Amino acid sequence: MKAFDYWHPILRTKDLKRKPVSVNFCGREVVLFRGQDGTLAALEDCCPHRRMRLSKGKVKGNRLVCPYHGWSYDQSGKGISPSTSALYPCVKSYEVTERCCAIWVKEHGSTAELPTLAKPGLHHVCTLHYHIRAPLELVVDNFCEIEHSCTTHILLGHDLEAISLVESRIETTDDAVRIINKGPQKKMPRLLEYLLGYKRGDLFVGELEILFSPVRVNIRNYWTSSNASECRKREAQGTVVFNPVNDQETEIMLFSFMSQELSVFSRLLNPLATFLLDFETRLDQKMLEGIADKDTKLTGVQLGRFDKPLGLTRERIKRLYWQRDFTPLP
């Protein structure tokens, strides 16, 4: 399987309106559009006639009309040329579906399944989308070490003064890396403490599961009493899916969930949690884009005790995701 054989969430549902939208992904340009009957379509964003971008065109009925000479394509990519009726132009199409407020695409014919985003019964809070000027491996690094939470983040994570107390455990299988971090939570506003059921002195636990088909991190955050004997009831879960744009840029789609019991507060909590998550993720983005040397090799960098996952994820990204015959465009 190659990267494009896996399902990737390349656009939020709400970002596709009447006009077609072009998305860069894995060195390809894909145009997404919705026909009048509501059916979604994903085609290569290039008219086979004279290579005009189809995303510059218009949707008419259930067809996408190229703006250059008016040739049009249905949702499976079958075309009509008004000037040359005996011609049957065809543009490459992708399998497309919607899930959790995002539009997902993959190659036709691949057997990949849609990733599981959260355990059943959780309440969906938001789906957020970011474009980060950093290579895939460096963006993944940021989401699988907790050390940066002390300084990059405002609310979730650990205090720099107490980072030496944070325990970190790693478990690996052939196709997954799991990390469990546990330690003192940094100070939070009272309202958030109340909503999360957090008591001062509690330990913050972050469980991360990194998978590679597609590359994604399942995150589970919860709190325990200081002696770890009691788990607080409320928890936050999320999945971050990584979409490489090219070898220097990456997009991420972040799906956030909360304990079902918190859904009674959803009118207050959803906008608040969305604002805070967006704020915190933009801090990650800013930090990643500020890295001086974006070489993804680990030679020449000095690694600390929280950096052990970096080599483990790189090896799996290369072996399970890029595959030997896949070369991202420069």
CB of 223 to Fe ion, least distance (A): 18
Pick from 19, 50, 199, 319 the residue near ligand FES by CB under 6 A. Answer: 50
147 near Fe ion, rule: CB under 5 A: no
Torsion of CA 263, 268, 271, 275, to 10 degrees: -110
**CB-based contact 43:148 (threshold 8 Å):** no
For 299, phi then psi, to 5°, come to: -70, 135
For ligand FES, the closer CB: 68 or 265: 68
For ligand FES, the closer CB: 1 or 52: 52
**CB-based contact 42:130 (threshold 8 Å):** no
User: In angstroms, rounded to a whole number, what is the distance separating the alpha carbons of residues 271 and 83?
Assistant: 52
63 near ligand FES, rule: CB under 6 A: no
In terms of Cα–Cα distance, which of 210, 35, 15, 40 is closest to 127? Answer: 15
User: In angstroms, rounded to a whole number, what is the distance separating the alpha carbons of residues 287 and 152?
Assistant: 7
For Fe ion, the closer CB: 93 or 281: 281
119 near ligand FES, rule: CB under 6 A: no
64 near ligand FES, rule: CB under 6 A: no
What's the token pair of residue 91?
């543009």
Q: How many residues bind ligand FES (CB under 6 A)?
A: 8
- Verify cis geometry, omega within 30 degrees of 0, for the bond prior to 214: yes
270-309 binders of Fe ion (CB under 5 A)? 284
47 near ligand FES, rule: CB under 6 A: yes
User: In angstroms, rounded to a whole number, what is the distance separating the alpha carbons of residues 233 and 57?
Assistant: 51
For Fe ion, the closer CB: 55 or 149: 149
For ligand FES, the closer CB: 83 or 229: 83
Q: Report the SS3 class of residue 319.
A: helix
Q: Stretches 65-73, 128-136, 207-215, 241-249: which one binds ligand FES (CB under 6 A)?
A: 65-73
User: In angstroms, rounded to a whole number, what is the distance separating the alpha carbons of residues 67 and 71?
Assistant: 8
60 near ligand FES, rule: CB under 6 A: no
| HSE toward the beta carbon, residue 86, CA cutoff 13 A | 0
Q: Stretches 14-22, 61-69, 222-230, 254-262: which one binds ligand FES (CB under 6 A)?
A: 61-69
49 near ligand FES, rule: CB under 6 A: yes
91 near ligand FES, rule: CB under 6 A: no
Name the residue with the smallest CB distance to Fe ion: 284
235 near Fe ion, rule: CB under 5 A: no
What is the separation of C-alpha 49 from the centre of its chain, rounded to a whole number of angstroms? 34
Which parts of this chain interact with Fe ion (CB under 5 A)?
284
Residues of this chain that bind ligand FES (CB under 6 A): 47, 49-50, 52, 66, 68-69, 71
